[in-house]
Amino acid sequence: MIKIQLRVLVLVVFCFFSGIIFSQNDSIWQQKPSLSLSGFLDAYYVYDFNEPPTNVRQSFLFNHNRHNEFNVNLGLIKLGLEHTKYRANLAFHAGTYVNDNYAAEPGLLKNIFEANVGISLSKKNKFWFDAGVFPSHIGFESAISIDNWTLTRSLLAESSPYFLSGAKLTYNPNDKLEIAALVVNGWQRIQRLQGNSMLSFGTQLNFSPSDKFTFNWSTFIGTDDPDVLRRMRYFNNLYGQFQFTDKFGLITGFDAGVQQTVKGSSSYEYWLSPVIIAQFAISKTWKTALRGEYYEDQWGVIIPTGTMNVFQTTGVSLNVDYAPTENIMCRLEGRWLNSKDNIFPTKAAPTNNNFIIGASIAVRFSEVLNEK
């Protein structure tokens, strides 16, 4: 009965918005959209001083996760269509990030970075409806390393969705506030998990009172189990980004989630992760960033290890970046992780410490193929 009511509600909402869309001035829809082509490539080398037995360093990391080899973390090509009343993006990617993070997706779905269409639902374009595969609304770090303050991703970013598949309704009452509601196929899934008939949900509230300060709260409500095991998952992501001066900026973030121990249970297992990143601009072309972080997952909800204390890990990293232009960046980073248990592989027995040095050269481009 509930499923039928939800379907009826979706149909009513669709019909309502369709009436709004097609009642707008036809001349606006006849305007020519702009078409853009963009790309990104991130080549890297990482040396893991634990010298793990294989070239894959850690099972819980998805970026720059190869030991003692040169490789491509992410290479992508993207077509973007932009119109006053509609938009679309289609992007394909490859690299070690794709091999690791999209392992659960079948066939060619692994190679989809973005595939979405959006349409304006109001005359002033304050409401937008987007559907397809799109970047996650969670967190301040993306798969595109050149946009992040550090080369490697924080533990909380690696352990929350990078991408989602579903539909999103976005409302921008002004240029400082954005509110979004999402219906998605699951926790970082393009194709819904086999045996799961339940959709998941998300929200986002992003407030930027100026170009120097941003506050964000994102949520996820749903499951990552088939129906017979369904454990409900509730997740919150909070972060603030502050550019105090032209030279000094700070990001603080906090993730917290709970999941039912078993289907229908009133008891929950939790995980949490705080992070802080300070960035200092040495000059116009040189920057450095220091990161401190902690991740606690005592029950192995997100990062199972099979050890007594599961995953309770502290990390520190320091990177130096050289960017001669805004389209290219050369980076060097050292990162140390310390865990309560021996979870980091070595040639012999696992250890509780891990230190790596990584380097990367990343480049991107963007060109408008036609004018509006």
As given in the structure block, the two tokens for residue 220 are 């996820």
pTM, two decimals, is 0.91
Enumerate residues 6+ apart whose C-beta is below 8 A from 141. Answer: 148, 153, 154, 157
Phi, psi at 18, each rounded to 5°: -60, -40
| pLDDT per residue as tens digits for the range 141-196 | 999 999 999 999 999 999 999 999 999 999 999 999 999 999 999 999 999 999 99
CATH class of 35-368: mainly beta
As given in the structure block, the two tokens for residue 176 are 């400082």
| pLDDT per residue as tens digits for the range 17-61 | 555 555 555 677 778 899 999 999 999 999 999 999 999 999 999
Query: Residue 139 pairs with which residues in a beta bridge?
Result: none
Q: Are 143 and 152 in contact (CB under 8 A)?
A: no
Which residue is it, tokens 């959709």? 199
Q: Are 356 and 49 in contact (CB under 8 A)?
A: yes
| pLDDT per residue as tens digits for the range 187-245 | 999 999 999 999 999 999 999 999 999 999 999 999 999 999 999 999 999 999 999 99
Instruction: Report the residue count for the chain.
Output: 372
The distance of Cα 247 from the centroid of its chain, to the nearest Å, equals 26
Assign residue 343 a region (left: φ > 0; alpha: ψ between -120 and 50; beta: otherwise).
alpha
What gap in Å lies between CA 138 and CA 216, rounded to an integer?
9
| pLDDT per residue as tens digits for the range 315-353 | 999 999 999 999 999 999 999 999 999 999 999 999 999
